Structure 1
Amino acid sequence: MTYPYDPAGFSQVGAIRRGGILSGNALCVASMVTWAAGFPAAEILLDSWHPAALTAARLVLAVAILLPVWIMADGPAAARHARWGHGLMVGGMGFGLGAFFLLKAQALTDPVTVALIASASPLAATLLEMAQRSRRLTPGFVLGLAASVIGGAVATQGTPSADLGMGAAYAIASVFVFA
């Protein structure tokens, strides 16, 4: 089974080659649970950390964990031959700036509001793809998109704070930067 987009330049890498789609989905679920746990953790840490410092610490921790996992999964050659400059630029903008905006939003509002707005990530990605004319809406895709947004609202109990202001603006910006 080959996938059309292979950012590392290898075909059938890691979990896809060994465990198939099921293990890929299990890894996705685990990553979402971990990501969601970051909202209440950030709420506590933002009392004593600046959003920029917390963003840097979180990203350094992520790299310290994921780099060895990547090397174990795909071997040292994958890391040696990766396009590091491109990856750092895209990752710095997408993950770095997006994560900073997310924490800044949470510092200005609350974790529920930020999680609710973050649940609109699929909607933001769709809007960007439609603007680039690379996404055609099908009934199945619209249904999946609606389920994603509704699921995010249900998971956060749909209770954003009444005063959104700049916190909401930062959260919306983070969603588009991540997308």
Structure 2
Amino acid sequence: MTESSMAEPSARRRQPLWLSAAPGLFLLLWSLGFPVAKIGTQHVDPLLFLGLRFALVLLIMLPVWLWLRPPMPARLGAWGHQAMVGFLIQTVYFGCCYSAFAIGSSAGVVALIVSLQPILVALAAPAMVGEIIGRRRWIGFLLGFVGAVVVIVGRSTVEGTTVGGLLLALAALLGMSGATLYEKRFGEPLHPISANLIQYLTGLITTLPLIALFGHFTLELDGALVGSLAYLVIGNSLIAISLLLAMIRRGEASRVSALFYLVPPCAALFSWWLIDETMPPVAWLGMAIAAVGVALVSGRQRRR
């Protein structure tokens, strides 16, 4: 064994402190986004809300990009890959989640459905990105899903979700799962400011026709709308998405996706705090089950 090959594993183990903290911070920011987004959609059309979010993010990021001048993709194909990830995450995932909230779906129910993402990623990862999913991880996926179901089913205030809300949540699930696998397979190293600029510009461009066709141009400009929009711009759009893309590039797609198993219990907890979607004691059991599932999935995985 050569000296360079012996040094390679230890180099992989040495990772920046911010990357070690990224999973917990991402989980906090992402989970809080569900009840905050539901608050916002009670004051404005969901598509217009999404368009306002994209426009504000671009207004913040463009001056930063002009100041730092990070490199943009050198190839046209790389531009296309970034645009596709942006479309799947920003337009499909967020657009469908916001629309589901607007027609009455609870934050917890939507969070539960999109938490199925690790199952889809695990099924597709062997063929698309060369990951081998072992028995231990499959047990972890199952426990994570069971824990998420316990959290949501155990909540006494969950109301029946319409067929439209379920379909929108399922479309959001497909959008985020597709983005995770697409970024893992086709994504290239790129400065996060450049990547986010392309992706949010794609989101705005693809959302504007939907606003014109299906949106309503009325809004209640009050503290709740301004606060929710500010959080989603900074917490979700600028910080959480950057952390997600960084973790996808530095780790396996199925391992990163396992974080989404903890989103439903955390989102239910935040929803109880912010919008009075109460969570009974049995939901804490679901959180523990989901945490065990994530721990099982978090082991190192070999590649083909």
User: What is the TM-score normalised by the length of structure 2?
Assistant: 0.44
Q: Does 1:80 align with 2:71?
A: yes
Greater Rg by CA: 2
What is the CA–CA distance in structure 1 between the aligned matches of 2:43 and 2:126, rounded to whole Å? 41
Aligned residues: 162
**Which stretch of structure 1 is more off in the superposition, 80-89 or 39-48?**
80-89
> Equivalent residue of 2:15, what SS?
helix
1:138 is aligned to 2:134: yes
Taking a change above 3 Å as real, the CA distance of residues 158 and 133 of structure 1, as seen in their structure-2 partners, is farther
Residue type of the partner of 2:21?
A: A
8 Å CA contact 2:112–2:152 kept in 1: the answer is yes
Matching residue's letter, 1:112? G
Structure 2: which amino acid aligns with 1:168?
L
Mapping for residues 54-73 of structure 1, pairs under 5 Å: 54-60=49-55
Q: 1:165 to 1:34 in 2, by over 3 A?
A: same
Alignment match, 2:27: 32
Aligned residue type for 1:52: L
Residue among 91, 115, 119 paired with 1:119: 115
Rounded Cα–Cα distance in structure 1 between residues aligned with 2:72 and 2:54: 22
Q: What do the CA deviations read for 1:122-168 (whole angstroms, capped 9, x no partner)?
A: 11222333675955431122123124323433554654532341101
The alpha-carbon deviation at position 94 of structure 1 amounts to: 3.1
C-alpha root-mean-square deviation of aligned residues, in Å?
3.7
Asked if the contact 1:122–1:148 (Cα under 8 Å) also holds between the matched residues in 2, the reply is no
Residue among 99, 110, 114 paired with 2:94: 99
Question: Which residue of 2 is the match for residue 6 of structure 1?
Answer: none
2:167 corresponding residue in structure 1: 169
CA distance in 2, matches of 1:39, 1:110: 9
Q: 1:92 to 1:163 in 2, by over 3 A?
A: closer
| Secondary structure in structure 2 of the residue aligned to 1:80 | coil
Runs ≥4 residues deviating over 6 A: 64-69
Give the counterpart of 1:45 among 35, 40, 45.
Answer: 40
What one-letter code is carried by the residue in structure 2 that aligns with 1:27? A
Q: Write the letter of the residue equivalent to 1:177.
A: G
Matches of 2:62 and 2:135 in 1, distance apart?
38
Q: Residue 190 of structure 2 aligns with which residue?
A: none
Higher relative contact order (CA 8 A, sep 6+): 2
Asked if the contact 1:113/1:161 (under 8 Å) is kept, the reply is no
- Displacement of 1:104 in angstroms is 1.2
| Unaligned 5+ runs, structure 1 | 4-11
Distance in 1 separating the partners of 2:93 and 2:153: 24
- Between the aligned residues of both structures, percent identity stands at 24
- Partners of 1:119 and 1:153 within 8 A in 2: no
Q: CA deviation at 1:63?
A: 5.8
Letter of the 1:119 partner, please give it: S
Segments of structure 2 that go 5 or more residues without pairing to the other structure are: 1-6, 178-304
1:150 maps to which residue? 146
The residue number in structure 2 matching 1:128 is: 124
Query: Which residue does 1:9 correspond to in 2?
Result: none
Query: Does 134-143 or 45-54 show the bigger shift?
Result: 134-143
Amino acid at match of 2:137: F
Distance in 1, matches of 2:23 and 2:79, equals: 23
Q: TM-score, normalised to structure 1's length? A: 0.69
